[in-house]
Amino acid sequence: DYFGNSVALPVTQPATLLPTAAALAASCDDAQTILAIAREITNANKSVNEEFVKRRTELFCSVPDIRYLGINLDSNQPGNFSMNTWAFLGSNTQWNFPELVGGSGGAPDAIRRVQGQWAGSCHGLILPSRPGIPKGRMELVITLPVDAMSVLERDADWMHFVEQVSV
């Protein structure tokens, strides 16, 4: 049973209640730990309050422009980190607008760049795919305050996944 897309807004707890970066990194090589994490995601999806989802959907449908709604998450606050992906909007994407490209589809002319307003916030963005990046690999932009980025770059467990750091 596929629930669909899930969004979880983390609530910061004392560090003793959260898995460490080392534990999460180690799980990538441990099938049992990955399975346990997958089970927790499944359990979280099973605990969804259907009445809340219904009410939230009704709210979304009742506003003339959904951009007027927001969530209580400010990525400019130190405890908040947001993440998004544009991985599926890359140069290998084929658009099929018959009136515009003759019916055979076409690739995008340009890919939207990250806007400067993200530079000081705590955000991660998986960039669109592009030529020269092997399948299964990705480019990720992470923006953090300078001190937090320094800590992340010194974390050996995190850097295990990193091939290149660009400034």
Model confidence pLDDT, tens digit, residues 35-50:
777 777 677 777 778 8
Model confidence pLDDT, tens digit, residues 118-157:
556 788 888 877 777 777 788 888 888 888 888 889 998 8
Distances (CA, A) of 167 to 60, 71, 119, 142, 148: 39, 30, 11, 10, 15
Residue 77 has pLDDT above 50, yes or no: yes
Say whether 125 sits in a helix, a strand or coil. Answer: strand
Rounded Cα gap, residues 128 and 111, in angstroms: 8
Q: How far is CA 57 from the centre of its chain?
A: 22
What confidence tier does 112 reach under pLDDT thresholds 50, 70, 90? low
Residues 84/121, Cβ–Cβ less than 8 Å = no
Tokens for 42, please give them. Answer: 């499944």
Considering only CA atoms, which of 21, 126, 22, 25 is closest in space to residue 82? 126
